[in-house]
Amino acid sequence: MAGHLLLMWRLLAHDVRRRPAEAVMFLVAVGVAMASLTLGTAAGDAVATGYATTRAATAGPDVMSSTTDPDPARLASRLARLPGVIATGGPFFAFDTTIAVHGSSAHAGVEGRDSARSAVDRPLVTSGSWVRPGGVVVERGFAKSLDVHLGDRVTIGGRRYPVVGTAISAATEVYPWGDPAQIGPADFGGVVWLTAADAHAAAGDAPAVHLIYLKLSDPASAWRFGRSAAARSLRTDDWLTYHTWQNALQTDRAMIEDTRPALVVGGWLLAVAATVTLVALATVRAARDNRRAALLRAVGAGPGTVLVVLLVPHLLLTVFATALGLAVGTLAAPRLVDPSAGMLDAVGAPGAGTVGAAFFLALVVALAGVIGPALRTLRTGTVDALADPAHLLTHHPHLNAVTAYLPMPLLLGIRLLARRPGRAALACAGTAATTVMVTALLTWHTELDRVPAYRRYGPVEVRTDRTGQVLLAVTLALVALSVLNALLMGWGSAVQARRSLTIARTLGATPGQVVTALCVAQLLPALPGVAAGIPAGLGLYWLFGTQTTPPATWLLTAGAATLLAVAALTALPAWAHTRRSAGGVLTAEPA
């Protein structure tokens, strides 16, 4: 066993040292798919972790109450005596208004605070300082949206205040749901803090409320607090409402409700593309693996040993790539799930389910990509493998008869395709995966264009921007893998069919016809991939979004561009292959 492990390690080290590009492509293909899947599955946990960290750092309340009671101090005293309440913060004066900055306006809740630290809800200053007379502190996510920085001037109630700091708080949801002074219907906005005196002066005659924050001995009971008989007994003719930390967390999670499906589905599609990449790499390595297996069998190694030697290096790379993808996804999750920067970035370990799903999918991808070529290598005789490292093609007499009267490029292309149907199926799946994401991206743009301008604000704008970024990133990753796959598939097909194509050249086929034949062999499986990918992309988008359909011209253009790209990327390695003389190919010694 120790000898086998040492042999596999030396072979892996040799391959990585001699051909680092192959190892890098392997790691990137599997790692990107696992990172996307990790982001999608761990996004909900990342929101909870970030919110919990922010609550702990800011002494966040368990229950946020808002009232128009003319005697808020008396009400706060009565709330403090309710069963389960261990601390209170406030009452804090607050009102709704429209602020102006940089020539534009935005809805905001203004909260009056003093310099003294509150027992409950102590906003964490992330830049600058806390409130002081004549200065305003802006919630960090709100400031990011408004592009507000320290020293900028903000107009509130006709008065101009310099920005002296930015801060975050767990008492309100992240921007744009961060207005704590709502009385009537929700109006999306942010929150700013002034001193209590400045807040009263800026409010003027505007309707105002008082905020009272409560800390409970059992935070999990916050859901039941507002419905308890004791809490209801405090309700009078004056307006009083309760809002819990669970409500805030649930609202924060809504920011990623459109992003998670794109990441999870994108992760599975990237896994399909990664499988195609691994098969393409196996095709490029076929000659080398055949000869290596033959040499092992020649010195007495059994089929099991040969199979293990061929598979284990790839599985080791798979484990490393999966760990890399999990790490990247975990580190990126806090940034992804908090688009408005309203929480502290807290990196938490991925859950057992996320880790298990990632490793399982990665192993399936790796085995699907390399087990077929490895088994074909075992079925090749030792003498044949040493004499010709390329996999011998299977002949189909009936197919030869059917295609005998076709033009030369089509005849050669169909025969090459029929001799390796498994590779054709994978090429079709890879093209379909890319087409699905391209279609989803076009559908998203179509839906965005149809939304009236007056509705593109608040959470719609923030969520839409982040969803578009995720869709674009996953699509670009798929396109990059597809480009790589087309190049590798084209080169691998040219290498494995070099003798048969060279014989065709000696019998009269021109280099242009050979290049066209290889393009046909790649285009024919790409056609059903595009045809299936467009409706599949529409169906997936309709499942998670709305039933929006892009213009037919967009879809047809995307499909045609995909096919043209496949043809162009296949033609490059095919053309490079035909530059070698026919005599040189036929007389070449095995590698």
What is the sign, positive or negative, of the torsion defined by CA atoms of 98, 99, 104, 106?
Answer: negative
What pLDDT score does 137 carry? 92
Average pLDDT rounded to a whole number, residues 442-465: 63
Per-residue model confidence as pLDDT tens digits over 516-540: 888 888 888 889 999 999 998 888 8
Q: For residue 380, is pLDDT > 90?
A: no
Residue type present at position 526 = A
* Mean pLDDT calculated for residue range 347-355: 71
Whether the ω angle into residue 91 lies within 30 degrees of 0, i.e. cis, is yes
Average pLDDT, the chain: 77
pLDDT surpasses 50 at 454: no
Task: Give the tens place of pLDDT for each residue, 64-84.
Answer: 888 887 788 888 888 888 888
- Output 195 or 12, whichever has higher pLDDT: 195
Alpha-carbon distance 43 to 13, whole Å? 36
Q: Residue 150: pLDDT above 50?
A: yes
Q: State yes or no: pLDDT of 491 exceeds 90.
A: no
- CA distance to 112, 260, 329, 339, 355, per residue, from 257 (Å): 33, 6, 18, 12, 22
Write out the two tokens for 459: 């959470």
> What tens digit of pLDDT does each residue of 300-326 get?
666 667 777 777 777 778 888 888 888
Determine the pLDDT at residue 165. Answer: 92
Q: Which of 131, 111, 125 is closest to 166 using CA atoms?
A: 125
Q: Is the pLDDT of residue 453 over 60?
A: no
Mean pLDDT of 168-176: 82
Q: Name the pLDDT band for 166 (thresholds 50, 70, 90).
A: very high
- 243 close to 403: Cβ distance less than 8 angstroms: no
The rounded distance, in Å, linking the Cα atoms of 458 and 188 is 6
Buried b (16+ CB within 10 A) or exposed e, 10-19: ebbeebeeee
Contacts of 433 (CB under 8 A, 6+ apart): 269, 270, 272, 273, 478, 482, 533
* Tokens found for residue 46: 């990342």
In our burial notation (b when 16+ CB lie closer than 10 A, e otherwise), range 163-179 reads bbbbbbbbbbbbbbbbb
Specify whether the CB–CB gap between 125 and 113 falls below 8 A. Answer: no
Gyration radius from the chain CA atoms: 32
Task: Name the pTM for this structure.
Answer: 0.69
> Looking at residues 283-291, what average pLDDT do you find?
67
Work out the average pLDDT over 402-412: 72
The per-residue pLDDT for 556 is 92
Return the pLDDT at 463. 62
Query: What is the average per-residue pLDDT within 245-256?
Result: 79
Window from 122-126, 135-139, 207-211, 222-226 with minimum mean pLDDT: 222-226
Name the nearest CA neighbour of 247 among 462, 86, 58, 60. Answer: 60
pLDDT digits (tens, 9 = 90+) for 7-20: 666 666 766 677 67
Pairing between β-strand 159-168 and β-strand 153-156 as defined by DSSP bridges: antiparallel
Which helix (H) or strand (E) is 503 found in, with range?
Answer: helix 498-506
3-class secondary-structure state, position 67: strand
Which pair of structure tokens corresponds to residue 14? 């040799």
Q: Annotate 549-571 with b (16+ C-beta within 10 A) or e (fewer).
A: ebeeebbeebbeebbebbbebbb
Q: Is the pLDDT of residue 383 over 60?
A: no
User: Is the pLDDT confidence value at 5 over 70?
Assistant: no
Higher pLDDT, 550 or 384: 550
The answer, yes or no, to whether residue 179 has pLDDT greater than 60, is no
Residue 471 — φ and ψ, nearest 5°? -60, -45
- Kindly state the DSSP code that residue 453 receives in the 8-state scheme: G
Distances in Å between the Cα of 586 and the Cα atoms of 284, 515, 530, 589 are: 19, 18, 37, 9
Which tokens is 477 given? Answer: 């990753």
pLDDT at 396 over 70: no
Q: At what angle do helices 511-544 and 458-496 cross, to 10 degrees?
A: 150
Short-list 402, 585, 399, CA closest to 496: 585
Show the 3-state SS of 108-146: EEEEEECCCCCCCCCCEEEEECCCCCCCEEEEHHHHHHH
Rounded-to-integer distance, Cα 130 and Cα 95, Å = 19
- Contacts of 330-335 with C-beta under 8 Å, sequence gap 24+, read 330/38, 330/42, 332/35, 332/39, 333/38, 333/39, 333/42, 333/43, 333/45, 333/46, 334/46, 334/49, 334/50
Q: Which of 59, 90, 61, 75 is nearest to 212 (CA)?
A: 90
Give the model's pLDDT for residue 263. Answer: 79
β-sheet bridge partners, residue 159: 156
